[in-house]
Structure 1
């Protein structure tokens, strides 16, 4: 793969802006309702501790792998292929790309749902008018990105800085209005004060924590643009701690304004309801404006990441060749076109889905779990072999193996927590998506699968068939 010119190289700050911009989007604005409907402050602290440690281990794996294997660009895809073969690489790339699509759909739905607070014609973000205006925004961003990756990344850095301001203001105002009585009265959440009850509450928050951390791999995906390889790790870990601090503050301080029951009944963006309860009606307007800025910036970051992963996978011959074609400005135009055409189709589908935002969030989290699992597994495999660092010459330490193993345990636990429903729905995307892998292999004159890959596809096919059967019989809802 050709290297970008020096003019298109990104600094550590630009890469960190991509990481933070990718993670801080729709998720943070829905945290009070999502956690309030599932647990109280105690469960929230446990959930964020688990998620924080787990995702920190994932961040450390990305940092280690960026130094260990500087030859592997577009990390989240390339690591899976290098460690476990072509089809694993494809599944990782396709899962990441699908998560980006669904995440972008959730952003558009939430923007229009927010406008629906003031203009009923937008409803919950899934009306005809909402879809039409979302489509206009979609293709406007498409035109902007086609003008150049560097210009779009620079705009993302500006938007990232702008969207952090309303979140910080929210934290300050809610902290000033914080009531300890409200926080302590709902400390245990609903249900019994037993380990089993708290564990169940925590489990119900796991997919939410995955959704808000999706994007932690942003710097790794853009590693081929980094000025220095070490910048990738700095941006990943630095971006993680910034976002974790924001998520913790928004979640826990909200319990000091409203009870878990009241939080659970809020309409999204639930941060608006919390601030309105703290400072008055103008707080809802303020948060709503901040959300529109935040989600627009997150969408821009995610579209860049989605197109880049398709482009890189095509360059590595795991996606069809047409996806690696660039326009005169160096933008992977065909990958961008395919991405946004499918976003448009999913937006149309939201017209027929009652809980479009909730489903999009859950499906985004489910689709991203396979890529994260492969990254952690590759980290375990590489550190177990104790391959010397290419840049420093020293061997991997025991701590790197422990970090990778903890990341693998965490991602495996998330797959279990996702539940059968979302895994079956995910297979409905992975199975037909394998057509792209088949086309790529045919272009190269190679057989589609080896023996274990054939078995993996058989499992996907049977899962997809089971999902269709369950949906047809009304036992699985979309």
Structure 2
């Protein structure tokens, strides 16, 4: 690896390098694999258990979330076609609303990335424990989780070539068994296993909103191609296509796969399951071999997702640091890899895993809801940025196209508000605290640059 290099401190709206500059860039297959690989982690493998408390009504929530996720995917595609640098939601918010909004989005999304990694690895542990630590001793669970966080970090630190190979291979290995469960598995569904349609004990509207907040976690990552757009060849064409194609592929597997699990595992057993897809496979085929095969796929899936998210957890703060809106160390690279961002974020995820295992009874659900809140804030700003641009500067477009694009952006914005409302009081409380912790960091960064407000040149005149 080469020595440390720090990018020039130039304020731009691109948030990163020119398209395809670094490492030759990813093509459409790798960009699509990044989306699918980041979206389909172990979340989908653990999600049926989290949704079982609501009953089959959560499938309605899943369909509605899928519609909202597709609206967001198309919004990200349009934004990346206009603003083609790395950084994703951070770049979009900064371009539309200024430095402070850009910083808050970068800060919030950065928390999403490493807190989401903690949630992914907790679900991964449940499937590793199909084979080892079957009595779920907390100490060994923590050790397995920490290994699951640091192996993907080492893959990323070893270079982009290893990342690309790992991402494509892991995506294929996990997508095939999930697709099998989402198709062949439907033949074994039994109505008796579903239980009460709404078993949440609340109204249908409240159950759908709460289930949707959890289901949204499954789609976090649809924006990863836009976050790493500076590494994608022909980003104006490939980022949008990869985002939509990846989201559609995930949607099919998610909805049908969850339906299969709900229909093959009794609701009461599903609520307590740590590996629901394994239990479903065992119920379909009998014995243990099928469930163990699914468990292996879940472990591969989790590691692949962690490899993708570990890249993202370095890319977002690096883009902000190059615009001088994150500490400068995040912009430093070795061999083109933002090593400080990767290592520091993995350390934070490791701490969160240890704290969660020792303090929270529902570890996975708690981490999921925190990640959903911190992800939806950048989603909301991105949808607002696209809608704002269309209203202010999109008048030259064909009227029918303008109406369509405004409708999609408005749907993505409403969906984001709905997801925030459904996150629950606890997630909103912790999420707002995490968000506002960024304000002192922003003050420190601005003070270090001797700036007040958004006009650096005016600072020296006072």
Q: Which residue of 1 aligns with 2:432?
A: 427
Residue 315 of structure 1 aligns with which residue? 322
Partner of 2:152 in structure 1? 141
Match in the other structure for 2:120: 107
CA contact (8 A) 1:17 1:160 kept: yes
Q: Do structure 1's residue 284 and structure 2's residue 291 form an aligned pair?
A: yes
Do structure 1's residue 325 and structure 2's residue 332 form an aligned pair? Answer: yes
Say whether the 8 Å CA contact 1:44–1:251 is kept in structure 2: no
State the partner residue of 2:12.
none
CA contact (8 A) 1:113 1:122 kept: no
Query: Secondary structure of 1:370's match?
Result: helix
Out of 147, 163, 170, which is 1:159 matched to?
170
1:213 and 1:350 map into 2 onto residues whose CA distance is 22
Which residue is 2:220 aligned to? 214
Q: Which residue of 1 aligns with 2:4?
A: none
Q: How many residues align?
A: 435
Relative to structure 2, which stretch is displaced further, 14-23 or 114-123? 114-123
1:295 aligns with 2:311: no
Query: Quick one: distance in 2 between partners of 1:425 and 1:341?
Result: 20
Partner of 2:446: 441
Deviations 1:141-185 (A, max 9, x none): 333212212431231111111111221232344223223x436x7
Cα pair 1:74 1:312 within 8 Å, conserved: yes
Residue number in structure 1 paired with 2:6: none
Alpha-carbon distance change, 53 to 111 in structure 1, aligned in 2, over 3 angstroms: closer
**Cα 1:420/1:255, change in 2 over 3 Å:** closer
Which residue in the other structure is 2:312 paired with?
305
CA RMSD of aligned residues (A): 2.4
Contact 1:257 1:274 in 2 (8 A): yes
Equivalent of 1:189 in 191, 198, 208 = 198
Specify which of 123, 128, 136 is matched with residue 136 of structure 2: 123
Runs of 5+ consecutive residues of structure 2 not aligned to the other structure: 1-15, 456-462
The Cα offsets for residues 357-394 of structure 1, whole Å up to 9 and x where unpaired, read as 221111111111111110011111011124379xxx87
Q: In the alignment, does 2:62 pair up with 1:56?
A: no
Partner Cα distance (2:302, 2:339) in 1: 23
Deviates more, 1:340-349 or 1:112-121: 112-121
The Cα shift of 1:435 comes to: 3.8
TM-score by length of 2: 0.87
Check whether the contact 1:186–1:260 (CA below 8 A) recurs between aligned residues: yes
CA distance in 2, matches of 1:345, 1:253: 35
Deviation at 1:7, TM superposition (A): 4.3
Deviating beyond 6 angstroms after TM superposition, the runs of 4 or more aligned structure 1 residues are: none
Does the CA contact (< 8 Å) of 1:122 and 1:130 recur in 2? Answer: no
Give TM-score, length-normalised by structure 1: 0.85
The answer on whether the counterparts of 1:8 and 1:150 sit within 8 Å (CA) in structure 2 is no
- 1:320–1:437 Cα contact (<8 Å) kept: no
Q: Deviations over 1:385-433 (max 9, x none)?
A: 24379xxx87862110111111111101111111222111112322333
Secondary structure, in 3 states, of the residue corresponding to 2:197?
coil
Instruction: Give the distance between the partners of 1:149 and 1:81, measured in 2 at CA.
Output: 27
User: CA 1:160/1:63 → structure 2, altered by over 3 Å: closer, same or farther?
Assistant: same
Q: 2:415 aligns with which of 406, 410, 426?
A: 410
CA contact (8 A) 1:77 1:89 kept: yes
Does residue 1:177 correspond to 2:158, yes or no?
no
8 A contact 1:33–1:268 mirrored in 2: yes
1:350 CA displacement: 2.8
Shift of 1:278: 1.9
Give the match's secondary structure for 1:256.
Answer: helix
- Residue 8 of structure 1 aligns to a residue whose secondary structure is coil
| Match of residue 245 from structure 2 | 238
Q: 1:432 and 1:123, CA in 2 relative to 1: closer, same or farther beyond 3 A?
A: same
Q: C-alpha separation between the residues in 1 aligned to 2:211 and 2:263?
A: 19
Q: Decide whether the 8 Å contact of 2:40 with 2:250 is kept in 1.
A: yes
